[in-house]
Amino acid sequence: MVATMPSSVPTMECESPHFLMAQRQLDEIAAEMGLPSQLHERLRYPKRSMVVTIPVRMDDGLVKTFTGYRVHHDVALGPAKGGIRFHPEVNLGEVASLAMLMTWKCALMGLPYGGAKGGIRCKPWQMSLGEQERLTRRYTSEIINLLGPDKDIPAPDMYTNEQTMAWIMDTYSINVGHTVPSVVTGKPVSIGGSLGRHEATGRGVAYCARRAVKHHNLNVEQPTVVVQGFGNVGSIAAKQLYSSGYKIVAVSDVHGGIRNEEGLDIPRLMAYMSEFGRVAGFPNSTTISNAELLSTKCDILIPAALGNQLREDNMESLDCKIVVEGANGPTSPEADIYLHEKGVLVVPDILANAGGVTVSYFEWVQGLMQLFWTEQEVNERLEQIMGRACDRVFALSQERTLRPRMAALRLGVSTIAEAKRLRGLYP
Ligand code: NAD
């Protein structure tokens, strides 16, 4: 158990279990690297947090009020960058912890960004497209002073997508009086999005999985893979690994899981998913529960759905050699330590799912230059950046006998610490 730092900052509204977990990770690496205590204390909290009330006219004519958040954790390296999620469990603590992770992730990947995150507490699946559009536009208008291509650049996250980004870009552009595509990333290609952005996170996850197989000296001809979550990240990671000859033996979505030890036909499963909206019932597969999915024997387990899925109460049942974290925060600190001690290689979220923000960076650069790259150029540059980050994390992890998560954090935190030291304290 890692001791938390005694703090002179009074308890903040963001101190939820999610946020305390992010702080504990920082505390652990700060102690290991000897981070100066004043800087450590500053980095334990967001730079700024905005909570907004969003009135929305619903389809029945009544007005319903929602709560929204946008948090900037640190902006020492550049504009704040981070996704916006729509989910009923969104709260200030969750958003603040994800903003902190974004700071470390961008720094680790060498991107000129600070860390941000946003969200609206809502049930998007119970809302019409028109209601979602009005919600998105009013939220954008409420947080507009934070946004801008040099200030804060949102992207999609859970239950938001290219269309959501198009609405944000349009609302911002109308308010400032001219079109500003670079205020968001993850937007449709026809209005300035990047080729390869939609697939980037899943592609990066698959890339890390292949790199981890080599690093772990996994000498199997056809590594077996289990994927929790078959949305953007999970389905694309599965498809990429399937194309590389890996055997995907089980996958799941919010409705349940399926298994076939001989391997699932992923292109067919993707077609089935678009027709039926779920993986359950796919021909030649057995239906399994979420718990059965996680304990399925495999070489590589990819959690690509929610946070806190591999925990103290199920870590002993896991039967894999490598975990590649597609989702944000899927492994609790206890499970991370347990798996590491058991010899399981855990590729942490800030590395494994950084493909999305990396290609978001490419999209922003292309938009600012008004010069667009081919999909091949995007994918090659993504592989270069992901490869370099994987090598640095695995090397530091070995050199200092750190868990890969701590090695990745150390690289991210030391970059921020150096930037803050050089910039100094104002005034
Ligand atoms: P998504 O909405 O496209 O897909 C989420 C998937 O998880 C869906 O298949 C859903 O059915 C499934 N799911 C939800 N609850 C589940 C449960 N209890 N059990 C099993 N499956 C469940 O979202 P996404 O964009 O694929 O994001 C997934 C995760 O990856 C999130 O943690 C997100 O923060 C993280 N992430 C996404 C990106 C990105 O670019 N999309 C980038 C970085 C991190």
CA–centroid distance for 165 within its chain: 17
Give strand pairing partners of 259: 250, 286
Which ligand 1 atom is at minimum distance from the Cα of 328? 32
List pLDDT tens digits, range 187-224.
Answer: 999 999 999 999 999 999 999 999 999 999 998 999 99
pTM summary value = 0.95
- Residue whose Cα lies nearest atom 30 of ligand 1: it is 327
Query: In angstroms, what is the span from residue 327 Cα to ligand 1's centroid?
Result: 6
Is 117 a residue of the active site? yes
| Centre of ligand 1 from the C-alpha of residue 303, in Å | 9
Using CA atoms, how far apart are residues 397 and 192, in angstroms rounded to an integer?
38
Question: What's the CATH fold of domain 200-352?
Answer: Rossmann fold (3.40.50)
pLDDT of amino acid 96: 97
pLDDT tens for the chain, 427 residues: list them: 444 555 666 567 788 888 998 999 999 999 999 999 999 999 999 999 999 999 999 999 999 999 999 999 999 999 999 999 999 999 999 999 999 999 999 999 999 999 999 999 999 999 999 999 999 999 999 999 999 999 999 999 999 999 999 999 999 999 999 999 999 999 999 999 999 999 999 999 999 999 999 999 998 999 999 999 999 999 999 999 999 999 999 999 999 999 999 999 999 999 999 999 999 999 999 999 999 999 999 999 999 998 899 999 999 999 999 999 999 999 999 999 999 999 999 999 999 999 999 999 999 999 999 999 999 999 999 999 999 999 999 999 999 999 999 999 999 999 999 999 999 999 9
Among 117, 187, 247, 321, the active-site one is 117
CB-based contact 359:196 (threshold 8 Å): yes
Phi, psi (deg, nearest 5) at residue 276:
-105, -10
Q: Is 295 helix (H, G, I), strand (E, B) or coil?
A: coil
Contact between 294 and 300 under an 8 Å Cβ cutoff? The reply is no
Q: Three-state DSSP class for 371? A: coil
Ligand 1, pocket residues at CB < 6 Å: 156-159, 201, 228-234, 252-254, 290, 304-306, 326-328, 353, 356
Q: What share of the chain is helix, strand, coil (3-state, %, to 5)?
A: 50, 15, 35
Cα 418 to middle of ligand 1, angstroms: 33
Distance between CA atoms of residues 172 and 208, nearest Å: 35
Q: Could you tell me the two tokens for 121?
A: 């507490």
Q: How far is CA 158 from CA 84, 162, 327, in A?
A: 8, 12, 10
Cα(310) to centroid of ligand 1, in Å? 15
Candidate from 306, 309, 358 with most ligand 1 atoms within 8 A of CB, to mutate: 306
Sheet holding 256-259, edge to edge: 286-288, 256-259, 247-253, 224-228, 300-303, 322-324, 345-347
CATH number of 46-178: 3.40.50.10860
The boundaries of every CATH 3.40.50.720 domain in the chain are 200-352
CA distances from 249 to 37, 264, 265, 284, 310 (A): 47, 6, 9, 12, 19
Task: Give CA–CA dist 198/213, Å, rounded.
Answer: 25
Residue nearest to atom 18 of ligand 1 (CA): 254
At 7 the pLDDT is 62
- pLDDT, residue 9, reads 64
The gap between the terminal CA atoms of the chain, to the nearest Å, is 38
Distance from residue 328's CA to the centre of ligand 1 (Å): 9
Domain with CATH 3.40.50.10860 in the chain: 46-178
Rounded Cα distance between 17 and 21, Å, is 6
Select from 253, 288, 301, 302 the residue to mutate for testing ligand 1; criterion: most ligand atoms less than 8 Å from CB.
253
Which residue has the CA at smallest separation from atom 32 of ligand 1?
327
For residues 367 and 398, the answer to whether their CB atoms sit within 8 Å is: no
Closest by CA position to 118, among listed 168, 165, 206, 49: 49
Read off the pLDDT of residues 111-165 as tens digits, 9 standing for 90 and up. Answer: 999 999 999 999 999 999 999 999 999 999 999 999 999 999 999 999 999 999 9
Residue owning the nearest CA to atom 8 of ligand 1: 231
